[in-house]
A and B are shown apart, each in its own frame.
Chain A
Amino acid sequence: MTPVQVQGEVLSVKQVGAYLSMTVVASGVAEQARPGQFVAVAVGGDDGAMLLRRAFSIYQVAQRGVYGGTVEFVFSVAGKGTAWLAGRRPHDTVDIVGPLGQPFALPKEPARCVLVGGGYGAAPLFSLSDALRKRGCRVDVVLGAATADRLFGALDAKRMAASVAFTTDDGSYGEQGRVSDVLPEVIERTRAEVVYACGPMAMLEAVTRVASESYGGAGIPVKVAVEESMACGVGVCMTCVLPVVGDDGVTRMTRSCIEGPVFTGDRIRWDSLGAVPADALGAMAQFSTAGQMAR
């Protein structure tokens, strides 16, 4: 897999509940993309003041004869960059790099899988579900969000999954509460063997805990797609790091754009997010003159 950079024509920008879904012609990206990978989109135009790329999970790709491959992603307007994207219209061009990052690893043998999505974090789970079902896996889904309009893909989920559970913080749809409140029951009921999750970091931490404590503490593997602040998306800036335990047991500040965004949940040092654990490789005592080393 080699990422490509394309000037893609916008085919459509659609409102989907609280989100926008943008479809862009991006041949090269579309053909190579695998579930869990993302694209990094330049915002603001060639002379604009916003230099950093915005990362979005790939929702789905399609091969369309006339256009070449297309890529669709789902986003909410969070700040200036996403507001600019929301203002794009069909035939506008956006600069996209992708596919980026490590995809979700699929079980070699058919397995019973629970997919957990929070808000727009549901987006990458549909192509994952397709891939899993092609391998003969059973797929059950848990979707959660703050409010009903922030649940993404509820209908699709009902169509494709053996069962779907919904939660909202305000109880406007499904059960009131968090995905991690209903997840233990779903794991037990479906006799799940693997959990996949994408959503806010706090949710991923809770899902990891539930999965590791399942079956009386025996635990099942959990793969999470994280969301760390990114500047480049391609591995050259070192802004997107988080503490991850390697196969050798050593914690490293690991780039989530290259070695992630999908990690094995219990490899992430959740208690140390935003910090450098003292036992991490090359951890240094805090400098009193903060910032000097940055240069």
Chain B
Amino acid sequence: MGDVQIRTSADATPAADVDMSTSLGRLDVPDPVFTASGCAAAGRELAPFNDLSALGGVVTKSIQVDPRSGRPTPRMAETPSGMLNSIGLQGPGIDAFLAKDLRWLADNDVRAAVSIAGGSVEEYARLAGRLRGQPVALIEVNISCPNVEDRGHVFACDPNAAAAVVAAVKRNAPTSVPVFAKLSPDVTDIVAVAQSCVDAGADGLSLINTTLGVSIDTVTMRPTLAGITGGLSGPAIRPLAVRCVWQVHAALPDVPLMGIGGIRTGTDALEFVLAGASAVQVGTVIFNDPSAPSRISAELRTALAARGFERLRDAIGLAHRPPAIRVPEEADPLGDEQPEPDPVRRHVSFDDASTVTFEAERRRDNASNVTVNEGNEGD
């Protein structure tokens, strides 16, 4: 009971003084909330709705060597608590990206986590090399791309191919910038892929990318998306994403993780943190609420404070530890005093049910000891 009271009072004081800073390899950021790749373009469009420089950073739309037109439309289908997309990595190519998008982020003091994508190990390596000397806080390697040199097999689905990409990126990337590999959930053993990326030099992992889905339009009786299959995202995939973070953190507790998948509120973000994420990314929910990144950051702060945390770092991976009752000492209202015996726990004897009448008047007259509520008290 004491615990409940503490939470209530903390929830009512959101002026929460929580240290939200976190570390992603050698990168320290003041806030754990990032935007997810492909859900924030290169940040600029979200500036009217968020203080982007106060966030952990913006993960930019995966950039490729050359400009890409992306796929034909329709490119999206709304699904329950989520969506399917088949954008096809539309983008301006690395040159225009560096000149315009990255410049804008730097000019506006926004930490840029640059997501790169390629069709071959060599392309990833070239992209990483182009980021030398650029204002880049973190490199996220989107390995959920088909390898054109291996009959279109997706790098992320093969531990060796994933490792080859990560190693090539690490060789060419600026040494001071952490490299995160972004994993696909569409594998039988995500820990194996995670391990092999870390062995290849990844400084951390981003979990998860979308999972493959199909939607059929029952009016046209054909696939809804022009690309037929699409990536499923949004709150619909959150438990899948939390599971991936959970498994990878359990296996690799020292590797920093970014949790991604259906984060809509601060408590959703907290779920990922408790499962082992050092930071989180907000994706599809931005389409629903363009101010979601800032809102979720504030909500996460409040949620941490309400649970008695002074530092975000103390919550990372906490769900893996054996449960302990945590009642902040100074807030314990009972102190050392022995509590009064709880009146509800008293032995109560009842009349035969058939003799019980529910007249309010009667009850009040007999109310000397036991109060009977009209409703069901939910036990």
A binds B: yes
Instruction: Report chain A residues within 8 Å CB of B290.
Output: 5, 97, 232, 234, 236
Q: Is A239 part of the binding interface, using a Cβ–Cβ cutoff of 8 Å?
A: yes
Listed stretches A67-75, A114-122, A137-145, A273-281; interface member: A273-281
A292/B152 in contact, CB under 8 A: yes
A52 located at the interface, meaning its Cβ lies under 8 Å from any Cβ of chain B in the complex: yes
Q: Is A4 an interface residue (CB 8 A)?
A: yes
Shortest beta-carbon distance, A184 to chain B, in Å?
31
Q: Cβ of B45 and Cβ of A236 under 8 Å apart?
A: yes
Judge if B209 is at the interface, Cβ distance under 8 Å. yes
Q: Total interface residues on B, using CB and 8 Å?
A: 59
Q: Chain A contact residues: over half helix, strand or loop, or mixed?
A: loop
- CB of A51 within 8 A of CB of B45, answer no
CA distance A280 to B204 in the complex (A): 37
User: Residue B144 at the A interface, CB < 8 A?
Assistant: yes
Q: Which stretch of B166-174, B226-234, B332-340, B346-354 is in the interface?
A: B226-234
Q: Could you tell me if B41 and A294 are in contact, using CB atoms closer than 8 angstroms?
A: no
Of chain B, the residue at the smallest CB distance from A293 is: B88
Measured CA separation A4–B290 after assembly (Å):
10
**Interface: B145 (CB within 8 A):** yes
A95: CB under 8 A from chain B? yes
Out of A2, A229, A292, name the residue touching B145 (CB < 8 Å).
Answer: A292
Cβ-neighbour of A294 out of B78, B87, B291 (below 8 A):
B87
Bound complex: CA of A252 vs CA of B70, how far in Å? 10
User: In the complex, which residues of chain A have a beta carbon less than 8 angstroms from the beta carbon of B75?
Assistant: 229, 238-239, 241
Chain A residues within an 8 Å CB radius of B228: 290-291
- Which chain B residues (25-75) contact chain A, with CB distance < 8 Å? 38-41, 45-46, 48-49, 61, 66-75
- CB-based contact B152/A231 at 8 Å: no
A281 lies within 8 A of B67 (CB): yes
Residues of B within 8 A of A281 (CB): 67, 69
A-side contacts of B81, CB under 8 Å: 49, 51
**Does the CB pair A236–B287 fall under 8 Å?**
yes
Contact B39 A3 (CB under 8 A): no
How far, in whole Å, are A4 and B38 apart by their CA atoms in the complex? 22
* Residue pair B72, A276 in contact (C-beta under 8 Å): yes
The answer to whether A228 and B69 touch (CB under 8 A), given A274-B226, A292-B154, A294-B87, is: no
Residue of B nearest to A51 (CB): B288
Q: B45 touches which one: A49, A229, A234, A293 (CB < 8 A)?
A: A234
In the bound complex, CA of A229 to CA of B74 (Å): 7
Considering only residues 34-88 of chain A, those with a C-beta below 8 Å from chain B are 42, 49-53
Contact of B288 among A2, A52, A228, A238 (CB under 8 A): A52
Whether A295 touches B210, Cβ cut-off 8 Å, given contacts A231-B287, A239-B75, A274-B74, is yes
- Contact flag A295-B212 (CB < 8 Å), given A5-B291, A274-B74: yes
B90 touches A241 (CB 8 A): yes
Which residues on the A side are within 8 Å of B90 (C-beta)? 238, 241, 253, 282
Besides A235-B41, A238-B70, 14 new A-B residue pairs in contact (Cβ under 8 A), listed by A number: A2-B48, A5-B289, A51-B83, A51-B285, A52-B288, A229-B75, A231-B83, A237-B38, A253-B70, A258-B45, A284-B88, A288-B152, A293-B71, A294-B230
The 3 A-B pairs of least Cβ separation, nearest first, read A291-B229, A282-B67, A294-B86
Jot down 19 A-B pairs with beta carbons below 8 A, ordered by A.
Answer: A4-B48, A5-B291, A49-B81, A53-B287, A231-B83, A232-B290, A236-B40, A236-B46, A236-B286, A236-B290, A237-B287, A238-B61, A241-B75, A253-B70, A276-B71, A276-B72, A292-B144, A294-B89, A295-B212
